[in-house]
Chain A
Amino acid sequence: MITIIDYKAGNLTSVKLAFESIGQKVKITDRPADILQAEKIVFPGVGAACSAMDNLKSLNILDAIKKVIADGVPFFGICIGMQLLFESSQEDGGTACTGILPGSVKKFKTADQFCKIPQMGWNTVKIAKQHPIFAGIDDNSEFYFVHSYYPDCSNKNYIIGQTEYADAVFSSAVAKENIVAVQFHPERSGRIGLKMLENFSNWNGK
């Protein structure tokens, strides 16, 4: 059973359908009690960091998230769900995030008029360090990205995948113990993305 945290940060339909298509049972919840009992957690999200953080607080689920992470439950952050794991984001004039991972989230910059922000489309992920989530996935495979801000993980040991866009080479996939998090959308990344979701479903967090 995959537990998807619904903290009113975007549409969860595609994440749910993608896990179901690989035969996983899915529960969508905003209740701390459900999160504390979860076997595997997906923390998705699109939208703005500030309102997403506000929602986490008003739903009282941040403590539950910290608890399950400390307990070793496999935890998968996607897009805004990844960004919120860092210490802060430049979005909305500066937003304090959860600080579960070291580093911050920065806005893309470029002088190239044809380099559009948000980055929208398929970009390559260079595997920096092997991880169970990349099982059966080639180095430099392409995944679907939609974002204007990028995570900059300050501990290199946690960076497992990197991507280049605008003036940045950023941490597009990170892992620390039972946490794995990606900036791209595996649920929208075709067969290779589904393979990653399957890898997460089979991962014990170690």
Chain B
Amino acid sequence: MLTKRIIPCLDVRNRKVTKGVKFQNNIDLGDPIEMAVAYSDGGCDELVFYDITASAQGRGIDIDMVRDVAKAVHIPFAVGGGIKTIEDIRQVLLAGAEKVSVNSLAVRNPDIIAQGAKLFGSQCIVLGMDPVKVENKEKFPSGYEITTQGFRTRTGMDALEWAKRAEGLGAGEIVVNSVDADGTQQGFEITLTRMIAENVGIPVVASGGGGTCKHLIDVFNDAKADAAIIASMIHTGRFTIRQIKDELIAAGIPIRKKW
């Protein structure tokens, strides 16, 4: 049986892993390569690295770091944030990443999804989205609007419509990163994640808000997510991946048991 994936997220700036709440107040957590190896050895199923920029001013992706990760871990990993061109996507994949996640770039230029899928295959083009809950149901039938720049910029795009459109353009997977839930550890966004999972034929990954094993059980059982991204709950050392997986297995969730 296909297992549900547990994916640690490493936000990287200047080769340091950081973690903030609602995209603010970031603190340093450690070395990205060491952490990637520790999580991979600990049993995570995949890794995602966001904002691997050589500098905070966004001078481009740290390709050397992508290469170092690819040498150090032999599980799939995705790179997102800081991708600006199709050439960036090529460089990141050639350096050894399995997938590239596009977010703001895809909002500005949806065709990048189609181009990436055509050149490199759908399986390596992930659409990341940062939806926020809104009241205006007329303009946003799903009840969620896509934001970019970590909540700062509203796009006027409906989250479900965007998910369907991205699938049509050739995205191979969708990451639903709830702005409301990010960093709160109060649980994943269930409603929208399920709505998207029901309406697209590609895998859906829940992100933002995971703080307990119960949150993960809920996002797999209730939201029907194929994978979940976690950060705080493991970065703080409150849980190991083994502990999380044991609890999920006990709850009957299909999970990779041996590594």
Q: Pick from A119, A188, A192: contact of B98, CB below 8 A.
A: A188
> With A118-B123, A121-B3 given, is the CB distance from A141 to B226 under 8 Å?
no
- Flag if A188 contacts B74 (CB, 8 Å): yes
Interface string of A114-126 (1 = CB under 8 A from B): 1011111111100
**Which residue on chain B has the smallest CB distance to residue A13?**
B96
**Count of interface residues, chain B, beta-carbon cutoff 8 Å:** 38
Number of A-B contacts (CB under 8 A): 95
- Flag if B256 contacts A146 (CB, 8 Å): no
**B137 sits at the interface (CB 8 A):** no
**Which residue on chain B has the smallest CB distance to residue A18?**
B74
A192 to B259, CA, bound (A): 6
- Flag if B96 contacts A17 (CB, 8 Å): yes
- Flag if B75 contacts A121 (CB, 8 Å): no
**Count of interface residues, chain A, beta-carbon cutoff 8 Å:** 37
- Flag if B172 contacts A142 (CB, 8 Å): no
Q: Pick from A114, A121, A138, A188: contact of B197, CB below 8 A.
A: A114
Contacts of B94 in A (CB 8 A): 11, 13
A142 to B76, CA, bound (A): 14
Q: Pick from B75, B202, B257: contact of A188, CB below 8 A.
A: B75
**Which residue on chain B has the smallest CB distance to residue A113?**
B198
**A189 sits at the interface (CB 8 A):** yes
**A164 sits at the interface (CB 8 A):** yes
Q: Pick from B41, B45, B120, B224: contact of A114, CB below 8 A.
A: B224
Contacts of A47 in B (CB 8 A): 121
Question: Which residues of A line the B interface, CB within 8 A?
Answer: 10-11, 13-14, 17-18, 20-21, 46-47, 113-114, 116-124, 138, 141-142, 144-146, 164-165, 187-194
For this complex, 19 residue pairs linking A to B, each with C-beta atoms less than 8 Å apart, are A10-B120, A11-B93, A13-B70, A17-B70, A17-B71, A17-B74, A17-B96, A18-B74, A46-B123, A47-B121, A118-B122, A120-B226, A121-B5, A124-B1, A142-B257, A144-B75, A144-B76, A191-B41, A191-B259
Given A10-B121, A192-B258, 7 other A-B residues pairs in contact with their CB atoms under 8 A: A20-B71, A46-B123, A47-B121, A120-B172, A122-B5, A188-B76, A190-B74
* 4 residue pairs, one from A and one from B, having the closest CB atoms: A13-B96, A122-B256, A142-B256, A116-B203
